[in-house]
Amino acid sequence: MRSEFSTDFVRDMDPVLGEHYTQWLPYCQESIAATVDELAHPDAFPGTLGIDNGHVDRDLLHSACVAPFRSYLRRSGKMLRPYLVCLCLEAYGRDPRTRPREIALAEIIHSSSLILDDVADDSTYRRGDLTAHQQVGMLVAGAVGSEWLNLGFEVVWRDRESLGSRITSRLIEELAWEHFVTGLGTTVDCIWPWQEKTNCLPGEYLQQVVHRSTSYTYRLPLKIGGLTADVPESEVAKLSAFGEQVGLGFQIVDDLLNVKPSDEHWGKEVAEDITQGKLTLQVILALERAEGARRARLLEILRSGTHVRSELQEAVGVLEETGALEECRRLATELRDGALKIADDLGMDEIYRRRLKALACYVLRRTR
């Protein structure tokens, strides 16, 4: 199952985005390393937690609370989120090099949320390696994910003097709200398979996506960038709307790739969503459209928890035959077009608008 991650995906990006991303990637990596070290170096970590050094086994504390998180950072994700913070800062006339913590914040939150997603989904692999809970257990991994997610407040708090009271407050507010609504979205996502619900509406799926994956993928990093750059609230709202549009499209494409990966570097089990009985948009549409034995068979496979390749392929076949996959591709294109329209209205130089538009296009046609 293990696969090596590479930066080949940059070739899939429009050069106006790819070159800028490549330019900022080293600084993103540097910012993340410095910020995580500042928080979690063995000498610093007890202080970060506000505890007395004397009664804690520091090595053990590090192994339990830091190592699983660092293992996710080491898996070299694309680091698109910290890059988006850099892009916003630069686009609104701020030097990203003055804001390493806010840049790192986007990746810290993203990696934490991946640990929590993996626990919720009981996934075996992430980016080609064993998930955190496979290494340290469900409860430890879940605790570590929540711990790092909430260390985001500390990251912002440490910059309160240079950010100023208003921006600090707005950043904390957006972090808190996004974390909360992600819980509401995830509630719907995980209750459906448990209750074996089959009559979900497409709009109900899209609503939980708005409040789940959309947050960490694009909406929150863009808000962090806009707020840190101190742009007017109306501009933050546009960035948020753009991020939400791209995030929705991202999830739909992610669902499509889950059942039909078009790249050997996919890094997850194929059709894992079917094994987990997830009611994604394509499944909901297929259940609406399929009739009789075909519908019953799709439900049977979804409820079986199967890993058998032929059965998974059979389910994917139903998604294809009913036109559900095609409908999802069409919706993803619509979402992309909506994002491009929002980007046109952003108050930044044309070159940055082009980069954001290229991002929307890249996300919607990605293969991994």
Site for another protein in 279-318 (CB under 8 A): none
Q: For residue 59, how many C-alpha atoms fall within 13 Å in the half-sphere facing its CB?
A: 0
**Which part of the chain contacts another protein (CB under 8 A), choosing from 13-21, 88-96, 200-208, 355-363?**
200-208
Q: Is position 197 an interface residue for another protein (rule: CB under 8 A)?
A: yes
**The one segment of 118-126, 266-274, 296-304, 333-341 that binds another protein by CB under 8 A:** 118-126
The site that binds another protein (CB under 8 A) totals a number of residues, namely 72
Give DSSP secondary structure letters for 38-88: HHHSTTTHHHHHT--GGGS-HHHHHHHHTHHHHHHHTT----HHHHHHHHH
Contact status: 188 vs another protein (CB under 8 A): yes
Q: Which of 79, 151, 331, 361 binds another protein (CB under 8 A)?
A: 151
Interface with another protein in residues 29-68 (CB under 8 A): 48-52, 54-57, 60-61, 63-65
* Pick from 118, 114, 130, 115: nearest CA to 2: 130
- What's the CA gap between 52 and 274, in Å, rounded? 47
Considering only residues 230 through 259, tell me which ones interact with another protein, judged by CB under 8 A.
244
**Among 76-84, 129-137, 267-275, 289-297, which window interacts with another protein (CB under 8 A)?**
129-137
Query: Buried (b) or exposed (e) across 5-43, using 16+ Cβ within 10 A?
Result: beeebbeebeeebbebbeebbebbbebbeebbeebbeee
Q: How far is the CB of 149 from another protein (least distance, A)?
A: 8
Kindly tell me which residue out of 81, 211, 278, 368 binds another protein, with binding defined by CB under 8 A: 211
Residue closer to another protein (CB basis): 198 or 313: 198
Asked whether position 110 contacts another protein by CB under 8 A, the answer is no
Query: Is residue 115 part of the contact set for another protein (CB under 8 A)?
Result: no
- Encoded amino acid at 323, one letter: G
Q: Which residue shows structure tokens 């996919």?
A: 266
Which one among 143, 257, 263, 311 touches another protein, defined by CB under 8 A? 143
Output DSSP code: residue 159.
Answer: T
Q: Which residues have CB under 8 Å from 289's CB, separation 6+?
A: 322, 323, 324
